[in-house]
Amino acid sequence: MEEKRFQKRDEGFVCRKCGRAVPPNGVTSRDHCPSCLHSIHVDLFPGDRKNPCGGLLVPVSAAPHPKKGFQIFYRCEKCGKTHVNKAALTGTEPDDMNEIIRLTAKPMEE
Ligand SMILES: [Zn+2]
Ligand SMILES: [Zn+2]
């Protein structure tokens, strides 16, 4: 069961890293770019858009999730905080699996 604070917020956006016009996913919340996997630091809890930071979230590592496919670990370029997103493996334009696999080879450094 997902907690209620995990709001679904499925919106298209233009990726600030690679410039790709990313459409809404349709199945899950679109919170990162499917090509380069970068995201923007806008949530305190997923979907709430309550974080004033707005920095670029750089994917640093990925790992298989016991129930949900993969999770991607981020570090914010601006404030240095870490963040985790669920990989979007279904829906419109799912994540680039090669990028995710490439990230799983990288250890999460603290
Ligand atoms: Zn991108
Ligand atoms: Zn930040």
pLDDT at 2: 47
73 vs 29, residue with greater confidence: 73
Residue 72 within a domain:
yes
80 domain-assigned: yes
Higher pLDDT: 6 or 22? It is 22
Distance 14 CA to ligand 1 centre (A): 8
Give me the number of domains the chain comprises. 1
Closest ligand relative to 40 C-alpha: 2
Range of the domain at 60: 13-104
Residue 110, domain member (yes or no) = no
Q: Which has the closest alpha carbon to 61: 96, 108, 109, 95?
A: 108
Position 1 in a domain: no
Does some domain include residue 36?
A: yes
Query: Which two three-digit tokens encode residue 41?
Result: 């630091």
pLDDT per residue over 42-101, tens digit each? 988 877 889 999 999 999 999 998 887 999 999 999 999 999 999 999 999 999 999 999
Inside any domain, residue 5 = no
| Distance from the alpha carbon of residue 65 to the mean position of ligand 1, in angstroms | 22
Confidence of residue 1 (pLDDT cuts 50, 70, 90): very low
User: Is residue 21, in this structure, part of any structural domain at all?
Assistant: yes
**For residue 8, is it within any domain?**
no
pLDDT at 102: 95
Q: Report the Cα 39 to chain-centroid distance in Å.
A: 5
| Predicted TM-score (pTM) of this structure | 0.85
